[in-house]
Chains A and B, each alone.
Chain A
Amino acid sequence: EAQVTQNPRYLITVTGKKLTVTCSQNMNHEYMSWYRQDPGLGLRQIYYSMNVEVTDKGDVPEGYKVSRKEKRNFPLILESPSPNQTSLYFCASSWAFSGLAGAIQETQYFGPGTRLLVL
């Protein structure tokens, strides 16, 4: 079954304790992305990756790191979590179809979400 998986689904941690949220997709998608969802703000992009070893910042990258060593995995790393990073996090992936201006236009598929609480 084609899917995007995230682990853990729920996490409670304390300020400053490093954590990693994993994301994996089995669709051989080139493009992967992380979003956070907060009430009244919708979803905001944290980081994205066009392919292995190619990552770039989204709208709200502060306090986060990512890596893309393999095509299927795109972990989100919080080196020193703070309470303002309490949120619902979604990973997404898509094909990197080259369309207008060499840019990407494809539907993104989302994982089930990881609910993080930082105390």
Chain B
Amino acid sequence: AQSVSQHNHHVILSEAASLELGCNYSYGGTVNLFWYVQYPGQHLQLLLKYFSGDPLVKGIKGFEAEFIKSKFSFNLRKPSVQWSDTAEYFCAVNAPERTGGGNKLTFGTGTQLKVEL
């Protein structure tokens, strides 16, 4: 079965520091990749997604992610974090060929980011 790994479970940064959150997946075929964010007490919101084309995708709030197929990775980056970026971040993968038509998302376990003033 496909799996998604997020190796950083808790990250603490100071404001203006750069952020990189790792995401690796296990499936070798065609994948669709997502990063979702969950602010405290809120539901998941889409940050960015990759379906095809340019492997460097830009999302909302200054976030970007790079799909590196050879490394099975889709790391999330932001050059300068803000206190308001404090949230939990989830990487998710959909492998259409494996799910036989189902839009099944497999999520990583999440990375809790805390940005200190």
- A-to-B contact residues, CB < 8 Å: 31, 33, 35, 40-45, 48, 50, 56, 58, 90, 94, 96, 99-113
**Top 3 nearest A-B pairs by Cβ distance?**
A103-B96, A104-B103, A42-B107
**B97 and A101 within 8 A (CB):** yes
Q: How many A-B residue pairs have CB under 8 A?
A: 76
CB-nearest residue of chain A to B51: A105
Interface flag for B32 (CB, 8 Å): yes
**Chain B: number of interface residues, binned into ranges:** 20 to 34
Q: Which residues does chain B contribute within 8 Å of A35, judged by CB atoms? A: 107
Q: Give which listed residue, A41, A58, A108, A110, contacts B109 with CB less than 8 A.
A: A41
**B44 and A100 within 8 A (CB):** no
Q: In the bound complex, what is the Cα–Cα distance between A41 and B5 (angstroms)?
A: 11
**B96 and A104 within 8 A (CB):** yes
**Taking A58-B104, A112-B43 as contacts, is the C-beta distance between A42 and B96 under 8 angstroms?**
no
Q: Give which listed residue, B51, B90, B99, contacts A43 with CB less than 8 A.
A: B90
**A48 and B108 within 8 A (CB):** no
